[in-house]
A and B are shown apart, each in its own frame.
Chain A
């Protein structure tokens, strides 16, 4: 069996709102092998960001377990958790709010090092910060600049350097390129990939951009309203999508090529509310293949072919 780094079991995160209980993450389970990338794809409000933060326990899970190298992060005490954070980091979406505007690049990056007491002497810290800046492609003369003097791409590099500072084994990338322009986006994607190759970091890559996730991920999980509806190796998912939602999603990607008569699935119907969702398939209201059975209970995630999981009653019956 392969080397499992992360195993998530029946993870739930509910928020109570004035209108009822919001099921942000609902019964999510998966495993992630060391050195691989899992892409989490879904539309806004599907709970993908909450999932990433719950795994890192930046948000406390409602129930469920997150085993990181065999240790259940969800049950760690305060001090143990702070130590464990050394191995699990996050890169944020918004390069404008993810770096403290009152701190220079040096201060922001060195904070990671000093917090975990990795290095003591000032010279060594400085050496390390410069090394990290070099790794992420920030030139040394920027060491004392403030974020407002820098553009989005450079700020995002600060965020990456901060995450890398403690040599983490696992990084949650929460839409790290969606706020960037395409030419800069490609620079950051290449950087993330290079880092993975050199350091063997495991990524959980959260995005709404299917082209990006296809480029980077080994395996992709599609989320819809808090649940994983389909999970498969990247190539397989794109070649042979099974869930009707995945199919619609794939057909909706704008492709920068001239394609005559492209067929696309346009979804109709209303989106089910994630607040106290009824006990039925959450995609049922928008699904063209919806039957009586779909309305009766929520389908479970079933392995249909090796490595390819899908949560849809119709697919299981062989459609």
Chain B
């Protein structure tokens, strides 16, 4: 596997496999995922519902609910520390200090009976050795950083609009200046104009705090806007990975191609979209071979028989597709 030594890796996920035992059935949520995140970079994790994006992120914070979730195998290395066998207390310290996460629904991640100022201050008190007074002051500074007037620190979450709430959540996540921020669909619940504001803010803060970020989303448009690298997930596996240019302009995986074709293009109106036929496979009953094979227009017998291997097209660009073992195989979507 190609390595770049000059850039520091802040997060590495190696061979991560997570399953859920529900009602006597085994849900294979994440299967052998490898990811790495460089300092100051933004990695986009894209995929549809049930692709295992959120589970991967939760595993990185060791927050997979157990039971029913079980991390079968894998290593997670944050700033050169393997966190898989850390005691719970150390882990709590790492969450917030080094890695933080924000969720889709800002209302459920805020406590409705505490003022937003107190909630941000809480996070300072947990991680820094400072007085309550100082923490509250710092919380107010933080509110200003995310674009909310400091006077509003004494208000409750329900007094804020959706976009404002998400800003508060971001303030809490960034309070202790973590080196990694995982954002799980942070703008899905917001309107487009508000989404634009929040994305802008996140981009600014990322630069300001020199953070690395994982942006989980189903929206390729958001990926194009904020990410440096992209990983495409399908049925718990990463099927294509590379720089933004690699994935968007030199698409290689049939599933990624399918995603692009499914989207209505705002610049070029077509009569008919080209959807991916069929549905996602049942995660309790994944096919033996490539999980995408049943929906794939290029699928051959070999695809149905064996798990695809990683093919490295360049130093940065990986595609997991068996079809590339044939000489001269290429998908229809051309390079741009």
Contacts and interface: CB of A to CB of B under 8 A. Distances in A.
Most chain A CB neighbours (cut-off 10 Å) among B161, B193, B267: B193
Contacts of A96: none
Contacts of B259: 182-183
Interface string B14-53: 0000000000000000000000000000000000110000
Contacts of A235: 269
Contacts of B279: 151, 153-154, 184
B155 interface: no
Interface string A9-38: 000000000000000000000000000000
Contacts of B161: 271
Contacts of A216: 264
A215 B273 contact: yes
Contacts, number: 119
B262 A258 contact: no
Contact of B197 (A208, A256, A266): A266
Interface residues of B, number: 46
Contacts of B262: 182-183, 185-186
15 contacts: A43-B194, A151-B279, A151-B280, A181-B48, A183-B258, A186-B262, A186-B274, A215-B270, A252-B193, A253-B221, A254-B220, A254-B221, A254-B222, A255-B266, A267-B196
Contacts of A190: 272-273, 275
A214 B269 CA distance: 8
A7 interface: no
Contact of A249 (B192, B244, B260, B270): B192
A258 B193 contact: no
Contacts of B269: 214-215, 234-235
B275 A254 contact: no
Contacts of A67: none
Contact of B196 (A44, A187, A208, A252): A252
B264 A214 contact: yes
Given A254-B221, A258-B248, A266-B200, A182 B193 contact: no
B219 interface: yes
Interface residues of A, number: 42
Contact of A256 (B221, B276, B280): B221
B305 interface: no
B197 to A, nearest CB: 6
B266 A214 contact: yes
Interface string B236-275: 0000000011001100000000111111111101111111
Contacts of A255: 221, 224, 266-267
B225 interface: yes
A81 interface: no
Contacts of A153: 279
A241 to B, nearest CB: 12
Given A43-B192, A252-B192, A211 B218 contact: no
B265 to A, nearest CB: 7
A256 B269 CA distance: 15
A297 interface: no
Nearest to A181: B48
B189 to A, nearest CB: 9
Contacts of A43: 191-194
Contacts of B265: 211, 215
A183 B275 contact: yes
B175 interface: no
Nearest to B295: A183
A142 interface: no
A208 B218 contact: no
Interface in A244-295: 248-249, 251-259, 262, 264, 266-267, 271
